[in-house]
Structures are given as C-alpha cells and as structure tokens.
A and B are shown apart, each in its own frame.
Chain A
C-alpha cells in the first residue's frame, strides 16, 4: 500500500502512444503544460517547432520552442503516430492559428524537489534512460536504472511512500513516484508504473517543471 503525498492522476485521461516516433519529450512536456493550464495542447506543433532550435526533440530545443513559439490548441494539429517527419510535407498546417500558450521549463535538482513540486500540484517531466524493467510483459515497478537501454521521457504524476513492502521490490518506507508513459495504455497499469527513488537516482538525467507565462 502507498500513502500518497499527492496523486495528480486524472481519471479517464487518455494515455498517449508514440508508436515508432521519437516524440516522448514533446508528449511529456505537452502533458505537463496542458495539466497546468487545463487546456489540451498540440504536441505535434511543439515537436515540429523544436526543429528550429537545434536537434529536434532535444531538451534544449524543446524548451526554447516552448518559450518562444508556445503551443496552439491540440485540435489545430493533432498528434498522429503515422506522421513522417522526414517527409518534405512536415510543416505546420494552415489550421494552426493559435492562441499559442508559452511556458518556461526549469530544472529541479533532486528527488526531494520533484516530490515537493508534485505535492504543490505540478506534474514533472523526467528525462531519463530506460532499463530492462521497462520492457517486461507486466511492468509495474521500475526499480533499476541499469543496464542502460535508451533515452526516454515520461511525466511524474504522483508521489508517495510505501506503507508496506511488496514482493521484495518495495520496502516499507520507500519513497516512490508514479510515472505516466507514452507507450500506450497496455504498458504497466493503464500506461503508468511506480518508480522507486533508487531508479530515479540511477536513471533520471533531468527533472523539469513547466511554468506557463
């Protein structure tokens, strides 16, 4: 059992599925941003516009695009897993007219700060690397950051403390986060999994907060 510090999961919220597209950061930033302003936003536009600020989809390019260009409403350019970014036609459609919601991304530097941000009602983006725990038939708890698999990004949507141990994976008193993935609703428990503090420390490269302005 988990004693929740704060649980920001929203019932009925659809889980993204990026399929083959390398859009985890855009989807994660969009989710955290939309949660702040309570409006669905276009992840596709953020992904596309980040290409004008360096390596498309990198943290720095995405942060600059979010601050400079912002994001229009989701229905103006919906995310499609089948979109071919390499095609010459990958350009913002004429349906994108705004308003463009802008935000700053800032770093949190510890598990404590992430926990505090969630407690204050903010979802936190985690740029990390995956480990074999992520690729199980029934991933429920991520306890390891090694061996390193791939770079990825997810959203931390809840924080809590274990009130009792679970099968040797979790012990009473362990601090945990609930992460929201973008690998479809069949992954983990409806697209979510628990991440231990150890996994956080050994796999998260950057923890990012989105602040609309």
Chain B
C-alpha cells in the first residue's frame, strides 16, 4: 500500500501532467519553463541570494510571482522555477525554499509535492525515454556518464535527473545517492569521451551534441594538425550565427586524454547542422574526409527578458 508521502507525490506529479496537457505543444526535450511561467501570467525574476537559498514564490491577492537565485547554474534555476511553479499551482502559500527544507528526505509535505511536481514537469516519462534513446542506452545499462548526458539533453541538473531516475525506478536510491555524492564532474570523467568542466562538452562517436549558449564543445576527431590538416566548416570559416568553429585546439590542459581535438563555441540558441571537412587550407584539392554534426543549443537565459516594470515591482514586493 502506498504511503501517505507517496500519495502526496503522486498527486503533485499528476498535477504537473495536467498542466502540461493544458499548455499543450510541449514536445521539446528541454522544457521552456521560463516562458511557460510567463505565459501563465506569473512574474518571474532572478536575484543573487545566499547559495543555500533556491528561490521563493509569492502570492499576494491575484498576483503570483517567482524569484530564483541568480547565483545558481541555469539548469538548477530551471528546476527551481518548476519547483516554485509547483507551489503556486498546488495552492501552497508564499514560500521560501532553503536547501535544508527542499533537500531533506523528511521535508514538509509541501516541499515533497513541489519537488515531485517539478520533476514530472521538467522530465516527463516520455522525454526521459526519448533521451535514453538519443544517447543510445537502455535503463539497465545506465552509467553515471549516461545520466550526465541525459541531464544535458533535458537541461536539468545532474542531481535532479538522478532523483527522477529513482522515481521512475530506473536506478535505486542508494545508487543515486552515490552518483550525486561523486558529483557531475565524476560522472563526466567516468568515460573518456565526456566532459571536464561545467561548460565544456565533448562530442565523440555520435554526431549530435546538446549544449547551451556559452558552452564549448570539444569535437574529438583526430585531425592530424601536426601535419597541417585541420577540420573546417565547409564553405566558410563560420558555419552560422549559432556556433563558432574555433578549429584545432590543444585541450590537454583541460582534459588530459585529449591532445588532438577541435573546439566549437555555442553562441546562440537553436539547432544547427554543420558539415566539416578535413583539409590542408593551402592545398587546392578535395577534402580527405567530411563529417556532419548536429548541435542543439539551449538559450542562455530568458529571465533577463522580463519586463523592467514587472521586475521593479516584484523586487519591491520581495523586499517588503
């Protein structure tokens, strides 16, 4: 028989699914949570706060607002936003979310519900399974680095993804704790073709990368640059306004195992197909080899687009 807490979590999860249905047209793997919140006439802003504070939600009369800790990484901000949305949708009162309350296994029923709401809203079952398919793994074979890649695809934090995998009974609670304790960096290092820093993604094997504006993608393709050969975008130096091809780079200082790779900087949101060719730039002959890469670039931050009047009004409310 399901426990009281399980039932509460389930109700919140169903509420999240209902809201997704009501909004409709939510096919994106990376749920555009900031836009959704705004479309629901909820004021949204960021503000630097103590690291232990995630954010808070406000209800005053018919006015509802969400404020998120600007110090946190964006995937965490996105999840916090969904968590605060959960509080508002579930009819909870004005609420300040401190890590002590939210992260605790014995947190209040309201926190449990908001977490469950956010988890389902940001990582619906269909998206998790689609993501697993994209990275070419199945539930039984999931490694920490697979989980890391899945978190990138869904644009949520590594920890949030791990707990979602627990909810979906894809991994056990103890394993999730171990992975989270080791941290995303360990997950990235777990296999050689992963990541070294928070904004450096390695594309290897498969030709599809997920990142966000500001990320650098290491394209791990042997280029023979010591022989004068380089991978370059076909046709021009810059493949598009969304990505910048930085060419051969010595990334060994960032990632010990990689001496020969190319760097791609993600500069604007959207999806981009890039064709690169291996050439000696000064030689007028056909390319030795060509490859195609698809890069999905998530927007850097859309909260900044909040109307200034709303921002000021909400800030005043928050400070009062």
Contacts and interface: CB of A to CB of B under 8 A. Distances in A.
Interface of A: 18-22, 24, 129-130, 132, 134-139, 147-152, 181, 183-184, 186-188
Interface of B: 224-230, 247-250, 259-260, 280-283
A80 to B, nearest CB: 14
Given A19-B227, A22-B227, A134-B228, A183 B248 contact: no
Main secondary structure of the interface of A (DSSP, over half): loop
A24 B226 contact: yes
A149 B282 contact: no
A20 B229 contact: yes
A139 B224 CA distance: 18
Contact of A135 (B248, B259, B260): B248
A151 B282 contact: no
Nearest to A134: B228
Contacts of A181: 228
A19 to B, nearest CB: 6
Contacts of B226: 22, 24, 130, 150-152
Given A132-B247, A150-B250, A137 B224 contact: no
Contacts of B280: 183-184, 186-187
A161 to B, nearest CB: 27
Nearest to B283: A186
Nearest to A188: B282
28 contacts: A20-B224, A21-B227, A22-B227, A24-B226, A130-B225, A135-B225, A135-B228, A135-B247, A136-B282, A138-B282, A139-B282, A148-B249, A148-B250, A149-B225, A149-B247, A150-B225, A150-B226, A150-B259, A150-B260, A151-B226, A181-B228, A183-B227, A183-B228, A184-B228, A186-B280, A186-B282, A187-B228, A187-B280
B282 A187 contact: yes
A188 B225 CA distance: 16
A126 B259 CA distance: 20
B249 to A, nearest CB: 7
Contacts of B281: 135-137
